[in-house]
Structure formats: structure tokens, C-alpha cells
A = this chain, B = another copy of it.
């Protein structure tokens, strides 16, 4: 097939271009990388232009811009909207990376015998959205683009997509499409391809506990004045009971309970607990009582401390009774929990359990709604057929623990279920040191995307 020939003929270039993109440290959470985030937006714009898009714009927002591009071959034909993000998670702690996070290298691993690209953003999401740019280029170059295509690549996904909602609402007509594709999730394995049909939502909070108005000597005051770290630990501990059930009143009120049959089907996905534990080097998993690991991640909400700090954290010992302690705490949510409501329940509860000896502050960072997408839409069927074509196996529908808050936004504002067409693996160390993305996954993804366009055209043509 001409498209696949073009992909094969341009393999080195397709890979090197991605490495160039990965060299830009576009960390949206940290203002010191501001220039780089803008540079990444520009890189995306130029890539789309070179690939053959007619219109490409950098759409400014109060934060980082959204890159929009399109190729309308025939207004009467179907249109595919692609969403991705060019920003990446912070790379800290840097010392745990085997190679610098923004100097991509390709190394073979047990799971990726043909090599994987090690770099922050390789899988999340530069390596994945860039597959669409290259598939598009290959289809254009071989004269075989079967549908219209629109790109919307944003730069604030890792910090809550604060400006995307407004953009989507204001540009509904421009973004109109018959199907939305997002590759920002993972599949089970190269042998067991899968398509995500459920995602968790999120509410991300930051708290401060203050004891005295200044750091104190732990000898002179210890035992008599509240230690905000001890108090914060008490408060965090009291947010879960002995079954790891979250104790915030009302927290589970809107959680959809699955039927026994649904839970059974969910647990049919291939999963080996020993292998899972071995890979993480843990002796036991840890989670809510009476749920399996697949369920704990797929259909149950969580409360995790993502960061904690207070007092003296340098070398050696300092006998300080600190004035303040802080924590970043996020909750993954499931349908039909509402993140605004959960943020409020958290705040009220946190304030209610604070002892009189401290003052507390709570603020919500960002959040997003959980989502379940249909596995019977035409788009899903086309994705299923495309994966079957390239992987030789029908993909399994799965529920993933991560959050892509914009899925619910697209459902609401653009009126269609996005296809969560992930090609990475859960072992690719997303958000961790040594994030990587299989070279084979990258090229299989490009081919599968091209196959999707053909299948979608076929299934929608009457």
C-alpha cells in the first residue's frame, strides 16, 4: 500500500523529527520553561504545515496556545478531529533518570526489544500525537487521504487544560467533526491491543496547615504547641479508613456501582498479579478492600498525596518545630462524581477535622470529569477494525485509571464520544523518570491511524 510504503521509506526522518520535538523541555507546570512551551507550539505549527495542512494557526489563550490545523479535501466528506498536547509533565526528580530527560536516546528493553525512545513526553503525549502528523503527511504524500482532518494540539493538558473549554465552546463550528481521535492512553500490550472506554476524573487540591507564626525550637516548645506536620499526617490518615475507603462524607454518593456481570467482564482482561508486583518490585498491592487491582484502577475513586513538605529537609538533623506543613492531594474520580462538588466536599471536610491549635488553607488546583465512552459507535468500530488490521487481533475495551478531563468536555460540547486510541504501554513510565515509548509502537501507531482513516471512510460511506 502506498501509504505504508511512504512510512517505511521515511522511517529515519519520522523518528528524528520526533526526537527534535522531545528536545524541547515544554513543561507547562513550571514557569521557568515558558519559552520552551511556546517553542513546542511553534514546532507543531511548522510540522503541520510541512505535512500538508492548508490552514495552521497558533491560537493564543491567556495561558499556552492551542495549535489548530486542517486539511479539507471535500466538505461533503467525513471529518476526523485529532486532539493531543505538546506540553509535558515536570521531569523531577532529574537524578533518577538514566539519561537526561530532554536528550532523547533509543535503548532496547525487555518489553521493547526493537528499542524505545527515552525522554520526557515520549509517550505522553508528544510521541503519540505526532503519529497523527506523520500519518497525515504519509496519506497526503501518497495521495490517499480518505477524509478531511482537523488538528487541535494544546499546551496545558498537564496543568488542567484551563483554557481549552472556552476555546472549544467558542469554536464549535470550526471543530465540527464526525469523530474525535485521542492517543493519550495506553493499551494492554503489543500482543493484546486494547482501546480505552473509561477514564477517571480528577480533583487536585493543595493544603497548608499552620501551627505557630514562626518556626520554633522543638525542645523549648515541643509537646506544648501543635506540630503542623504531625497534625497534617493525622488529617491525611483520617481521610481513609482501615479498608482504604475514603471517609469524606458524601464522597461515594454519586459513584456508579457496576453490576456483577460488568465487573466480571472487566476482570476478564489479561492481568498477572505476580508479574505486576514484580515489575514494581513490591510484595503486595495496596488498595480498597473487596476490589481487584483492575477495579481499583478502573472503576473506583482514589485519594493520593502527590507531594508533601514541611520543616527541615536538608542533610543532617535540625530540631525545628515548623510553622507550616503542606501537601498536594489529588482524587481520581469515576462516573458520576462531579469534580467541583468533590473539591468542595474535600475542602469542607479538611477544615472540619483541623484541630483548634492550627489554621488550615485549602485550594483547588484543577480538576476534570470522569468519562465513559461508547464501544458501539462507528468511530469505535473503525478503530477496532484498524487495530485488527495492523495488530492481527481484535482490541479489548478497557477502563484506564488516568484522567483526560477534556473527554467529558468533548462529549458535552462537540456531541461525540472521542476514540481513546492509545499505543503506549502502562510500563512506559509516564509521569516518572525514564519515560519511554517503543519505536515499534510509534510506527505501528502511524500505520494504524492511516488504517483508521480508510476504515472510517468505508464504514461511513453509503
Interface, chain A (partner B; CB < 8 A):
28-31, 89-90, 92-93, 96, 158-160, 186, 200, 202, 204, 206, 211-227, 229-234, 236-238, 240, 280-288, 293, 296-297, 300-322, 325-328, 330, 332, 355-359, 365-366, 400-403, 426, 429-434
Contacts and interface: CB of A to CB of B under 8 A. Distances in A.
Contact of A213 (B281, B296, B304, B430): B281
Contact of A285 (B233, B319, B357, B432): B357
A411 to B, nearest CB: 19
Interface of A is mostly: loop
A401 B357 CA distance: 20
A302 to B, nearest CB: 4
A283 B313 CA distance: 27
Contacts of A332: 218-219, 222-223
A220 to B, nearest CB: 5
A84 to B, nearest CB: 17
A402 B285 contact: no
B237 A318 contact: no
A402 B219 contact: yes
A11 B220 CA distance: 30
Given A159-B316, A215-B432, A282-B357, A240 B236 contact: no
A293 B312 CA distance: 25
Given A284-B356, A357-B283, A402-B217, A302 B225 contact: no
B309 A308 contact: yes
What number of copies of this chain does the assembly contain?
2
B297 A306 contact: no
Nearest to A32: B315
A403 B317 CA distance: 14
A235 B451 CA distance: 52
Given A30-B316, A236-B230, A286-B224, A306 B90 contact: no
A27 to B, nearest CB: 9
Given A297-B222, A306-B322, A29 B316 contact: yes
A289 B431 CA distance: 44
Contact of A212 (B206, B282, B366): B282
A211 to B, nearest CB: 7
A431 B319 contact: yes
A77 to B, nearest CB: 36
A300 B223 contact: yes
B318 A307 contact: yes
| Most chain B C-beta atoms within 10 Å of own C-beta, residue among A28, A222, A307, A359 | A222
Contacts of A307: 229, 310-313, 318, 320, 322
25 contacts: A89-B320, A90-B312, A204-B319, A212-B280, A216-B431, A217-B426, A218-B304, A222-B297, A223-B287, A223-B301, A223-B332, A226-B285, A227-B305, A229-B307, A282-B358, A284-B357, A306-B321, A306-B322, A307-B312, A307-B322, A308-B310, A308-B313, A312-B328, A317-B328, A319-B330
Contacts of A433: 214-215
B240 A237 contact: no
Given A29-B318, A280-B225, A319-B431, A330 B218 contact: yes
Given A218-B431, A302-B222, A29 B314 contact: yes
Contacts of A429: 214-215
A129 to B, nearest CB: 17
Residue of A206, A216, A217, A357 ringed by the most chain B CB atoms within 10 A = A217
Given A220-B400, A304-B321, A431-B215, A286 B90 contact: no
Given A218-B332, A236-B233, A311-B308, A224 B297 contact: yes
Residue among A287, A302, A308 with most chain B CB within 10 A: A308
